[in-house]
Structure 1
């Protein structure tokens, strides 16, 4: 079993521009430990601020009640009892003590001898034991230390290994390692000190963090540090999602992490951090389970010829087939099957030609747009069998007054009408819609995100794609609307949502 310590709330928060509120920190800590199942979480650095102190107290209070206090860790410093006082007062029981793992750091930054630094560390560990606080030790800049001053690294550990230290944590602080020397240096530590527990902490400066984790585990390291979405200082840390998948598929190792919850937690951290997940980010990127070439869709229909072990269902996702100039009929047919639409060959040919035409213009074509394309190409209403229809609506906008919407919709053959004002035309429309649903005693989904994209070129008559994220009965999903008018596109996306939850 490989032990995962996630440091999103400490090292991840060192990402430029990222600062989690106390409530967000508590929410992320709960999801990491309870929903995702990581073994430990590093939640803060001691002595940062009064706000950080209150956040740590709140998380510790929850963890104590939940029987998880031993899974919380706080970074502390070799500062006598100052960090210990801070951590103890906040209610935590584990300190990750930041020590100097290279001769250069101890002599140039601290301006101390190795013997003085070891004595200072021993004093802190002794005080921690008296307070019933467990200690792990970070050997800061260990990667440079083991490369350039291994005698110092061994002197440091030899001088501390008799103390009640739970783990010695080996950080590649500056992200300078590669898979070859990671294996060499980690094996050196494991072979020399087989009785000690070691963690490996990778940074991603050369985009080698996951590869280095792979080598560290092959060398015998059993504890790995990660962050959600790879957040962290500079180029970030080893992303939890990629590490967990790599452990299982490449090393045949197991962890306690629940793969099917990774995507959900990643999206939550994306929202709280404001750092968007790249579309091509392995495991969690928006596009990584999307096949573009038609030959791939055809192969997937013939015994999954273009699938590897990274099946989207493992991570709570589904495979999609992109629509564009490289699609071909196989991609289009896959999307039509998902929508429950059956087309004859003549119709398929016309739709294929239209999608290729749109792809040549670099316009985004999505599965949700297919009914509109079908309607456009075949001149019929592809939405005729929907349970909910918008019969009519009126939107008014006047300077100095709130926008007003009047809406008339049909639900299962019955017509309902309401009016409402809002902060914008779409907001007024949704408020009127909510009133109808409230009067009928029906639940209405929560809108969680709203984004608008326009194809390149910026023409005033360009299609506007509105993507709206919803949460209904605990399930997250998206709907898209396509129109030349932004509000109309949002209304179309909302209509799709209504029929989706009714279906």
Structure 2
């Protein structure tokens, strides 16, 4: 078993496309097939089912034209059927040279779906294999529902394999069609087959109905399997197939004696492309490829990483073309902030770092994620607050905006312990707020500075829930100055910037 090579066959374009709502275009199929073979270095790609549609035929033909020009002809496979040669003719017209022939791997399927005897089924299979050989098409055979076959009709499976061992077949493909196997069953069944048929090349095809596909893949490899069928992002019917990223990481980390050709550093790139083409979003916590799986959120974890990478495991993000990040939010500690500041090339003294950390925690209570790109805005906001003593507070406000009515604002303001309430309308919510504030200051016989510029910005690359920074330029008879406000709501940003102005004057 030392340095045993396992073949990886990707079936994203065939079985993965059976994910509900997914249909790749011909150009998308070609692009994915090219990346799987040339970027990820999978050994084989199953790209389609024969006879499905004219669109599928055109996609397969385009892939085969490319494969023939680039030496991949025998690494492209198509699912075919026991149909008196109809699939074979379809493949010949498309230029396909490898068929994965779908047959019945359990007595239950044979009896109730085909309503035939084993001998009848085998005779028809032999005819299809012979016809394929005459046309220089290589044959692999799927034993559909093989897992239930091993559970409930093992004698039939052995009878079938005895027959196949006498045929011109390159590989026997063992699908857990309904995703019912436990890891111990997977090991025992494959170990039994490898012992009984040492000269047959067996592939294992796992489904994920009980979320056991990766565990079953691990046990299949331990039991001596020769090849694995995987899909990018675990796409597939129902709960999907065994996910490529997880299976590859498990094999590389826990079975060092087993070799696979797949290039780990390209996994994430291909994963994101398939996400885009399929429209099926990758869960944020999906191992290896999820957005959050290399993000430390708790401050104690960032602190441990600073001291001796205490919260690292062997799944280093760089292996998969990714980077570790340190989330900013209500569970952040100083270490999270410091990690992000280091990436931005910034450094704060302890006092300012504490203030920024507290501000991040406050914002995190209101907003799920604070990004690294938000940090300069937060720092600016916090350091601005050191320039004045807070004597004026906007305690509460109600802003309304309704179609056909002028926006209005009702505000409550405390000025050196004295409380005021006013209401006003305006051309917008912030204008209404400022008009109400002017009424308050008129009672104090004071005039507010003139607003001469108002800019709102978010960090580059942010989403719609990003932190906003409002920068307002004010002008008095003697000077002009700027104040900043920070919040996830644009109008609230402006109100916070205005409160700073009120304290400065």
TM interval, short-chain normalised: 0.7 to 0.9
Could you say which residue in structure 1 is the equivalent of 2:77?
73
Q: Match for residue 401 of structure 1? A: none
Is 1:304 aligned with 2:309? yes
In the alignment, which residue of structure 1 is the partner of 2:169?
165
Kindly indicate whether residue 114 of structure 2 is the aligned counterpart of residue 97 of structure 1.
no
In 2, Cα distance between the equivalents of 1:362 and 1:273?
30
Once residues 489 and 331 of structure 2 are traced to their aligned partners in structure 1, the CA distance between those partners, rounded to angstroms, is 25
Aligned-partner SS, 1:214: helix
1:146-192 Cα offsets, whole Å, 9 max, x none, are 11000000111111211110000000000000101111111111111
Instruction: Indicate the residue corresponding to 1:243 in structure 2.
Output: 247
> Structure 1: how far apart are the matches of 2:152 and 2:50?
30
Are 2:108 and 1:107 aligned? no
| Matched-pair contact (CA < 8 Å) for 2:101–2:139 | yes
Which residue in 2 is equivalent to 1:454? 465
In the aligned structure 1, how far is the partner of 2:23 from the partner of 2:210? Answer: 25
Query: Are the structure 2 counterparts of residues 48 and 360 from structure 1 closer, same or farther at C-alpha, using a change threshold of 3 Å?
Result: same
Asked if the contact 2:327–2:369 (Cα under 8 Å) also holds between the matched residues in 1, the reply is: no
User: Residues 314 and 482 of structure 1: is their aligned pair in 2 closer, same or farther, counting only changes over 3 Å?
Assistant: farther
Instruction: For 2:333 and 2:41, locate their aligned partners in 1 and report how far apart those are by CA, in whole Å.
Output: 42
Give the aligned partner of residue 375 of structure 1. 380
Q: Does 1:229 align with 2:259?
A: no
Contact 2:232–2:274 (CA<8 Å) still a contact in 1? Answer: yes
Higher alpha-carbon deviation: 95-104 or 359-368: 359-368
1:2 aligns with 2:13: no
How many residues are paired up? 397
Q: Secondary structure at the match of 1:248?
A: helix
> Out of 288, 295, 306, which is 1:283 matched to?
288
Question: 1:171-320, aligned counterparts within 5 Å?
Answer: 171-252=175-256, 253-320=258-325
The answer on whether the counterparts of 1:39 and 1:256 sit within 8 Å (CA) in structure 2 is yes
SS of the residue corresponding to residue 379 of structure 1 reads helix
| Cα pair 1:261 1:315 within 8 Å, conserved | yes
1:22-41 residue CA offsets vs partner (Å, 9 max, x unmatched)? 00000000000001100000
Aligned to 1:62: 66
Deviations 1:14-55, CA, capped at 9 Å, x for gaps = 000000000000000000000110000000000000010010
Relative distance call for 1:18 and 1:450 in structure 2 (3 A) is farther
Residue deviations 1:336-381 (CA, integer Å, cap 9, x gap) = 001110111111011011011112224421111111111111129x
3-state SS in 1 of match to 2:164: coil
On the 8 A contact 2:363/2:487 being kept in 1, the answer is no
Q: SS at the partner of 2:127?
A: helix
Q: Tell me, what secondary structure is at the counterpart of 1:165?
A: coil
SS at match of 2:71: coil
Q: Distance in 1 between matches of 2:358 and 2:259?
A: 47
CA shift at 1:463, angstroms? 5.4
Decide whether the 8 Å contact of 1:369 with 1:482 is kept in 2. Answer: no
> Structure 1 residues 108 and 284 mapped into 2: Cα distance closer, same or farther (>3 Å)?
same
What is the CA–CA distance in structure 2 between the aligned matches of 1:238 and 1:42, rounded to whole Å? 15
User: How far apart are residue 250 of structure 1 and its match?
Assistant: 1.4
Q: Residue in 1 aligned with 2:391?
A: none
Aligned to 1:499: none
The whole-number CA distance in structure 2 between the counterparts of 1:206 and 1:451 is 37
**Is there any run of 5+ residues in structure 1 with no aligned partner, and where?**
381-448, 456-461, 465-480, 489-503
TM-score for the superposition, normalised by structure 1: 0.77
Query: Structure 1 residues 195, 6: CA separation in 2 closer, same or farther (over 3 Å shift)?
Result: same
The residue matched to 1:302 in structure 2 has which SS? Answer: helix
Paired position in structure 2 for 1:405 = none
Alignment partner of 1:353 is 2:358: yes
**d(CA) in 2 for partners of 1:463, 1:350:** 19
Structure 2 unpaired stretches of 5+? 386-459, 470-485, 494-505
Contact 1:182 1:215 in 2 (8 A): yes
The CA RMSD over aligned residues, in Å, is 1.9
Q: Which portions of structure 1, spanning 4 or more consecutive aligned residues, are displaced by more than 6 angstroms? A: none
